[in-house]
Amino acid sequence: MNIVIVSSEMVPFVKRGGLADVVGSLSKVLVRRGHTVSVFVPLYRVVDKNGYDFEETLSPVEVWVDGSSRKASFFHVNYEGVDVYFVDNPYYFDREEVYSTSQGDYPDNAQRFGFFSLAVVKVITSNMWKVDVVHCNDWETALIPVFLKKIYGMKIPVLLTIHNLAYQGIFPKDTLPRLGLPWDLFTVDALEFYGNINLLKGGIVFSDLINTVSPTYSKEIQEPSFGFGLDGVLRSRRDDLYGILNGIDVDFWNPEKDESIYQKYNADTVEKKLENKLKLQEDMGLMVKKELPLIGWISRLVDQKGLDLFAIIVDELLAGDVGVVVLGSGEEKYQNLMLDLAERCKSKFAVRIGFDPVLANRIYAASDMFLMPSKFEPCGLGQMIALRYGSIPVVHKTGGLADTVIDYTKDPSNGNGFVFEDYKASSFMDALQRALAVYKDDLAWKGLVKRAMALDFSWDKSAGLYEELYSKAKEKIS
């Protein structure tokens, strides 16, 4: 198939979240499976150009946004067989950041991503382009189906993937004409959303098929509690709504080949994992002791990730024989909570505020347990990476966590982690206590770690499911 993927991020060029990993890995695997894959990404200032030849390609197109015509130029890079096209417009993309600065979101984000979307539409609707399916991702590209179907009247199949429903692209209604869209789209069954316009809603309404990044999340978002106001629209499209679990790049996340960790290991040499723990305990100023369970947490420090529960249970947790190491950044109140704890309990609790890929790998390799008490989690990569490194996840049963982690207490022969069902501090603490109890049983714990490390979270299975959705989207419009 000729597959066009459109995204605001892609590894290894620009990453601000899991979306970048998904687009980078999925496109590579699809090429390996015999498809022709083109990915469109904006040419931000922060795009990492090191080691790649950016060559100007295609004819520029003129895009009308915000009352004037602006030029989109295109630069091509071949990335492991994937044709990556960077859409260039210095006015919109030659800025310090991708979405926002410390002052907040760029106020013209609707115009920036509207411009990007329309530029892509102009290219793929030109006669020379062969396209079997367009795969859009999140609100930044959700105007593509709106333009293709409503404005251009094209019968090109579109799949929209929702990576996190919490981000929808909501803008004042007067943004509609600035994007060159007619007022007849300002209705409840199109882009209108409580007096504003909602770009993701437009994408949900006009795409042929929609998917989220795990089967459980695709059901949860049809409920008011997880729907962020879009549950009704999603319910109305439930026959076209799917859930496909993300994979991880198992070549990159591999304790056997990982150059950033202190000691490489695999499922057969798992005893070597201990060296990673002892070295990290030392590096982070924690008590160095091999019997002490080390609990790792690598996360954005935001409400979604279960910080409120952690704040309630942490004193009880630290009263026991444990070490905790946290890497993350986010809301100031949670950063301060972590910094205070590290100050108060130096030998048991260590934190690094910031984004640090090397330390992240070291924590996955060193820790015995990994926390993901998320309130909601569309898919979650952390638990899959942790499992691959033999760090046993302790998770809330939601979204992708529910689809990847089986509770060991309930199912000792298949369990790969510890799961709590009610989003309550006491349930979280109970799951942790169950994990700490099993940790004391050396033989049981070793068996659990080996089973975790043998699990397969590679992209191939999911890529096959995306192929099926692409075919279904094609059938829908033929």
Tell me the closest approach of the beta carbon of residue 413 to ligand ADP, in angstroms. Answer: 27
The residue within the footprint of ligand ADP, chosen from 327, 337, 436, 448 (CB under 6 A), is 327
The three-class DSSP label of residue 224 is: coil
The residue within the footprint of ligand ADP, chosen from 328, 373, 393, 415 (CB under 6 A), is 328
Give the interface size with ligand ADP as a residue count (CB under 6 A): 17
Shorter beta-carbon distance to ligand ADP: residue 378 or 415: 378
Instruction: Decide: is 417 part of the binding site for ligand ADP (CB under 6 A).
Output: no
The residue within the footprint of ligand ADP, chosen from 7, 109, 216, 299 (CB under 6 A), is 299
Instruction: Decide: is 137 part of the binding site for ligand ADP (CB under 6 A).
Output: no
The residue within the footprint of ligand ADP, chosen from 237, 264, 300, 472 (CB under 6 A), is 300
Query: Binding segment for ligand ADP among 59-67, 107-115, 148-156, 296-304 (CB under 6 A)?
Result: 296-304
Tell me the closest approach of the beta carbon of residue 291 to ligand ADP, in angstroms. Answer: 27
Q: Are 105 and 99 in contact (CB under 8 A)?
A: yes
The residue within the footprint of ligand ADP, chosen from 177, 357, 412, 464 (CB under 6 A), is 357
CA distance 60 to 451: 53
Instruction: Decide: is 355 part of the binding site for ligand ADP (CB under 6 A).
Output: yes
Shorter beta-carbon distance to ligand ADP: residue 110 or 401: 401
Q: Are 193 and 225 in contact (CB under 8 A)?
A: no
CA distance 423 to 442: 30
Tell me the closest approach of the beta carbon of residue 284 to ligand ADP, in angstroms. Answer: 14
- Strands 104-105 and 100-101 come out as antiparallel
Instruction: Decide: is 329 part of the binding site for ligand ADP (CB under 6 A).
Output: yes
* Residues in contact with 59: Cβ distance below 8 Å, sequence separation at least 6, in sequence order: none
Q: Strand runs (DSSP E) across 320-414, as ranges?
A: 323-330, 349-353, 369-372, 392-396
The residue within the footprint of ligand ADP, chosen from 9, 13, 18, 79 (CB under 6 A), is 18
CA distance 144 to 136: 7
Instruction: Decide: is 169 part of the binding site for ligand ADP (CB under 6 A).
Output: no
In Å, how far are 99, 224, 301, 402, 448 from 267, measured between CA atoms?
Answer: 40, 42, 31, 24, 11
Shorter beta-carbon distance to ligand ADP: residue 154 or 298: 298
Tell me the closest approach of the beta carbon of residue 21 to ligand ADP, in angstroms. Answer: 7
Instruction: Quote the Cα angle for 204-377-227, to 5°.
Output: 40
Give residue 467's identity as a one-letter amino acid code. E
Shorter beta-carbon distance to ligand ADP: residue 175 or 391: 391
The residue within the footprint of ligand ADP, chosen from 356, 406, 409, 429 (CB under 6 A), is 356
Query: Rg of the chain over CA atoms, in angstroms?
Result: 23
Region label for 195, one of left (φ > 0), alpha (ψ between -120 and 50) or beta (otherwise): left
Position with the least CB separation from ligand ADP: 18
Shorter beta-carbon distance to ligand ADP: residue 114 or 296: 296
DSSP letter string, 226-270: TSTT-HHHHHHTGGGEEE------TTTS-TTT-TTSSS---GGGG
CA distance 306 to 371: 9
Tell me the closest approach of the beta carbon of residue 221 to ligand ADP, in angstroms. Answer: 15
Tell me the per-residue interface mask from 91 to 130 with ligand ADP, x by CB under 6 A, - otherwise: ----------------------------------------
Instruction: Decide: is 60 part of the binding site for ligand ADP (CB under 6 A).
Output: no
Instruction: Decide: is 382 part of the binding site for ligand ADP (CB under 6 A).
Output: yes
Instruction: Decide: is 381 part of the binding site for ligand ADP (CB under 6 A).
Output: yes
Query: Binding segment for ligand ADP among 125-133, 149-157, 223-231, 378-386 (CB under 6 A)?
Result: 378-386
Give residue 362's identity as a one-letter amino acid code. R
DSSP letter string, 162-206: ES-TT---EEETTHHHHTT--GGG-STTTTEETTEEEHHHHHHHH
The three-class DSSP label of residue 343 is: helix
**Among positive and negative, which fits the CA dihedral 261, 263, 267, 271?**
negative
Shorter beta-carbon distance to ligand ADP: residue 113 or 370: 370
The residue within the footprint of ligand ADP, chosen from 12, 17, 229, 447 (CB under 6 A), is 17
- Interface residues toward ligand ADP, by CB under 6 A: 17-18, 298-300, 327-329, 355-357, 360, 379-382, 385
